[in-house]
Amino acid sequence: MTIGECEEGDLVEILAIERDSYPTPWSPNLFLSELSNPVSRMLVGKSLESQGIAVVGYIVFWQVADEFQLHNIAVRRDLRRRRIASRLLSHAIRICRPEGVRWVTLEVRRSNRAARNLYENFEFTVKGVRRGYYNDTGEDALIMSADLQQVPVEGLTPKQRRGAKNENIA
């Protein structure tokens, strides 16, 4: 997989992933506005397939002062659980660190255990709750954040995370 900046031509595949990933997907216009927003960054992961290059996942985040705000991340359903989202998040972190970004924040559905596991692998912790945040279900959003200086660039596996916790206890 290669990771690079999103181009307008990637949007057809991104929109397909988006519709398959979320109960209330972003609109094409919202993605287009992110492409022209000066604080927004959109990265895509691409894989060379027999039919050509295909988008396998994407990440959308804002860099505002010393903060990285993660707005959206998704991977093609048939390619999940292959660390693609971890690689996208790692790449974004590697971009932000040298630019003086210190904090990473996001909101995630309380019920989205897979996403929460991903973020926990990068040392994100729950800092608060936005009650009724998601209009489609009224579900709460967990506010998660991490100190970018403390985040492992590649993320920790669950086994590594357990080991780190055990070392802190000893």
What is the number of structural domains in the chain?
1
* Model pTM score: 0.86
Mean pLDDT of the chain: 88
CATH number at residue 6: 3.40.630.30
DSSP for 70-126, please give it: EEEEEE-GGGTTSSHHHHHHHHHHHHHGGGT--EEEEEEETT-HHHHHHHHHTT-EE
Q: Which residue has the higher pLDDT, 59 or 121?
A: 59
AA letter at 126: V
d(CA 152, CA 93): 9
- pLDDT 10s digits, 108-161: 999 999 999 999 999 999 999 999 999 888 999 999 999 988 877 665 555 455
Whether residue 120 contacts residue 127, with contact meaning beta carbons closer than 8 Å, is answered with no
Is 167 noted as a catalytic residue in this protein?
no
Query: Would you say the C-alpha torsion 64, 65, 67, 68 has a positive or negative sign?
Result: positive
Q: List the catalytic residue out of 67, 107, 120, 154.
A: 107
Domain that holds residue 41: 2-169
Question: Would residue 107 show up in a list of annotated catalytic residues for this protein?
Answer: yes
Residue tagged active-site, from 13, 34, 119, 123: 119
